[in-house]
Amino acid sequence: MNDALALIMFASVFVVLLAGYPVAFSLAGTALGFALAGQLTGSFDGAFLQALPNRLFGIMTNLTLVAVPLFVFMGVMLERSRVAENLLETMAALFGRRRGGLGISVMLVGMLLAASTGIVGATVVTMGLLSLPTMLRHGYDPKIAAGTICASGTLGQIIPPSIVLVLLGDVLSSAYQQAQLDQGIYSPKTVSVGDLFAGALIPGLLLVILYLAYLVFVAVKRPHSMPVHEQDDAEPVGLRALRALLPPLSLILAVLGSILGGLATPTEAASVGAVGAMLLAVIQRRISLKIMRDVVRSTLRISSMVFLILVGASVFSLVFRGFGGDVLVEELLTRLPGGVFGAMLVVMLVMFLLGFVLDFIEITFVVVPIVGPILLAMGLDPVWLGIMIAINLQTSFLTPPFGFALFYLRGVAPDSITTGDIYRGVMPFIGIQLAMLGMLALWPALATWLPGLIYGD
């Protein structure tokens, strides 16, 4: 009976979400409703909810999660200070005289913006507003233009410092310790956000290289779809490029270098990034009281959403465990044919489908704590698992008909771009991401080698 209630509760959450209710209240409200029904029928022990205050206090005192509002502030400040606009104009001048150069410029700027902001929606919308009209005006195929912008925007999922990796690192750390304690290991190893940042570097850069290789291939095979972007420059291009690239690159290197070099924790590095973003805005004279007010409000709104969802997910997780849902999931995964491979395949497929209706925050806080300890107890590497989840969700957010990146671009694209153009444009990039997932599955060292080299794990 309890097993059935756990599954019904899980399904009910999706019904409530599809009805349009806020995620955090849907998670907590559905869970509390089922907990009350369970107590009335004698199938739920209310003692499980007594752990909630400790859970909430743990969220409040979690230093790793302090990095979230700081990274959000950094990203929003860079967006408002028009760093992306300067980068795009400069890179277009640098590569535009080559066939397909504008598309390559958009991809490279998207990569830099992803590394600077770590927010997928902000990157897609910003690139859509800045680069899509320019690409269309210079004769680019609408499908190529839309696909390039969507793909470059989703790089914020995997290229550090990514908010996705910060949240995944915190959740996987708890899951990894729980998995070891369940196995009788009372001096458990840990996995940190820094481990995930290091593990994501090689796969993220490989993904960018594969994207660029595809754009070059299209430019050679179908030159009419990616024409030359002519531009007259009074100022030498090299000097412009240096002036536009140096500030954001310095900021990215300061943030990542301090984490990977062991000089700072992710939270401390995030504060460096937030202060650095403000300094960039001051240097470029793109800051004012109004801009600062908008940045602080956006940061507060996004951060509040993240933490409120985390609170709702904590309530849901406790009730789900109270109904024995974690035991049921463990039995289902361990009995699947194919052992670890079968369990991993099913989890990746479920997460991929959930990515159509849930944001990465909900999946990270709701699904990963349930399946993470089970998969890690099977012997999977936590860093490899985290990177696989991140790229899997990145692929889901790009896949028609429900990918979030497609909705973001559709919201800012002109009427001349049809939804079909966007769908067809992203298909090759989806293929590239699936190939990247396959490469990671075959060669886990792509994700685990660099963290082991840096941290000696």
- Binning pLDDT at 50, 70 and 90, where does residue 443 land? very high
The 10 Å Cβ neighbour count of residue 19 is 8
Residue 378 pLDDT exceeds 60: yes
Residue 208 pLDDT exceeds 60: yes
Global confidence as pTM: 0.83
Residue-wise pLDDT tens digits, 310-338: 888 888 888 888 888 877 887 888 888 87
> Tokens 């990796």 map to which residue?
165
Least confidently predicted of 121-130, 161-170, 400-409: 121-130
Q: How far apart are the first and last CA of the chain?
A: 44
Q: Which residue has the higher pLDDT, 343 or 19?
A: 343
Question: What is the arithmetic mean of pLDDT over 250-258?
Answer: 83
Using CB atoms within 10 Å of the CB of residue 395, give its burial: 0 to 12 exposed, 13 to 18 middle, 19+ buried.
buried
Instruction: Assess contact for 186 and 96: CB atoms under 8 A.
Output: no
Cβ-Cβ contacts under 8 Å for 36 (sequence gap 6 or more): none
Residue-wise pLDDT tens digits, 14-73: 788 777 778 788 888 888 998 888 888 888 887 888 888 888 888 888 887 888 888 888
Read off the tokens for 332: 């289902």
Q: Which residue has the higher pLDDT, 365 or 4?
A: 365
| % of residues, the chain, pLDDT over 70 | 93
- Binning pLDDT at 50, 70 and 90, where does residue 236 land? low
Residue 293 pLDDT exceeds 70: yes
Rounded CA separation 53/315 (Å)? 10
Rounded CA separation 328/340 (Å)? 17
Instruction: Assess contact for 319 and 35: CB atoms under 8 A.
Output: yes
pLDDT, mean over the chain: 82
Rounded CA separation 128/407 (Å)? 11
